[in-house]
Amino acid sequence: MRQEVALAKAELTQEASKAGQAAGMLAGAGVAAHLAIIFASLTAMWALGNVMNLAWAALIVTVVWAVVAGALGVAGRGRFKQVSLKPEQTIDTLKEDAQWARTRNS
Please name the helix (run of DSSP H) or strand (run of DSSP E) that holds residue 1, with its range, or none.
Answer: none
Report the percent of the chain where pLDDT is more than 70: 98
61 CB-contact burial (10 Å; exposed 0-12 / middle 13-18 / buried 19+) = buried
Is pLDDT at 32 greater than 90 in this prediction?
Answer: yes
Show the domain range for 80: 2-105
pLDDT in tens, 51-77: 999 999 999 999 999 999 999 999 999
**Which pLDDT value is given to residue 98?**
82
Instruction: Transcribe 65-77 into DSSP letters.
Output: HHHHHHHHHHHHH
**Which pLDDT value is given to residue 42?**
96
Indicate the number of domains in the chain. Answer: 1
Name the residue among 89, 70, 100 with its Cα closest to residue 10: 89
**Which pLDDT value is given to residue 91?**
82
Q: Which is more confidently placed, 102 or 55?
A: 55
Q: Which is more confidently placed, 49 or 103?
A: 49
